[in-house]
Every structure is written in C-alpha cells, then in structure tokens.
Amino acid sequence: MAITSRDLPIIGWNEWAALPELGINKIRCKVDTGARTSALHAFYIEEFAENGAKRVRFGLHPNQGDTDTEMHCVADVSDVRDVTDSGGHTDTRYVITTTVVIGDRSWPIEITLTNRDTMRYRMLLGRTAIVDNFVVDAGTSCVAGKPSRHPVAQPFISLRHDEEE
C-alpha cells in the first residue's frame, strides 16, 4: 500500500523543535517550504580539526528576541556550500547534519549555519526536512506541541525514491 500525504501528520507555519545532539531541548522554528535547506542561527562559527575530522563550534541565541541567553554547540561539518537567501544574496555556509525532533518524531536533517540575529526565528525548517515527514497547514502554528525531553523516534518513511534538486 502506497503512503500518501494524507497519511502524514500536520504541522503549522511555525513549530517547536529540539536538536538533542546539539543540546537544544527546544527552539521555535519557522517552517519554510520555499527554502530548500534548513538554517540555524549562529552568532559566531569557528572551524577546527579533531581526530582528522572537520568540525565547527558555534554560538547560538536559542530564544526569540533574547541575545543574552547563549548556547555553545559543536558539530561535524557535512559540507560547505553557497546558499542564496530570499533577498538574492549568496554566502558560503557550513552545513551540519543532526537529529531534529518535532512532536514525537525524530530524523536526521541538514542545517546550514548563519547569523539570524535580525530574523524573528532562530531556526528555519526547509522543505527537504519536511518532505516525507509532515504536511504543512499554513493557517496553524505549534500543532505538534513542544518536543518531549525523551522523544520516541518514529521510523523515517520515504515517499519518493529519487531526489529532486
């Protein structure tokens, strides 16, 4: 039996997420089907090598409108790529892969690191993170609720077998 979008849970245009591998229990994210890749706020980024692996440490202001609260994270670098924002500006960003939790579901996603201090949401959830996992109802928000501290991972189900660029 084929899985259709009717079988997927609904999320709103903004949701609570967790990034447990980065130590982030909750962060409000804007769901953006127009953005290909997800983005996470980083007010500084430092590249370093550890055991032959390229890694980054970065600072994050996890709460909207609050630059006093800081978190410092470390992650492996998956890629470095040029990203064009909605204003047509291109910059080179580090890409990390980490687990995201929304509601009771968790799965790995790619996230670019960029300074989002001037943006309302510290995280943008792009369409490659959403596809095969949720249907977006743009008229609602925070449908999935806050992530559990000990989320129950749901299996990742792919609706497509080929990847579109």
Quote the pTM value.
Answer: 0.84
Query: What pLDDT, on the 0 to 100 scale, is given for residue 5?
Result: 65
Mean pLDDT of 139-165: 58
Q: What is the pLDDT of residue 146?
A: 84
pLDDT at residue 4 in the model: 60
HEC states along 44-97?
EEEEEEECCEEEEEEEECCCCCCCCCCEEEEEECCEEEEEECCCCCEEEEEEEE
Average pLDDT, the chain: 86
* pLDDT given for residue 151 in this prediction: 46
Segment 17-43 mean pLDDT: 93
Q: What is the pLDDT of residue 47?
A: 96
* pLDDT band per the 50, 70, 90 thresholds, residue 2: low
Phi, psi of 130 (to 5 degrees): -90, -40
What is the mean pLDDT of the segment spanning 127-146?
90
Measured in degrees and rounded to the nearest 5, phi and psi for residue 28 equal -80, 130
Residues of the chain with pLDDT > 90, as a percent, come to: 61
pLDDT, tens only, 56-96: 999 999 888 888 999 999 999 999 999 987 788 899 999 99
Tokens of 119: 């943006």
Residues 6+ apart with CB under 8 A from 157: 3, 132
Domains and CATH numbers, the chain: 5-136 (2.40.70.10)
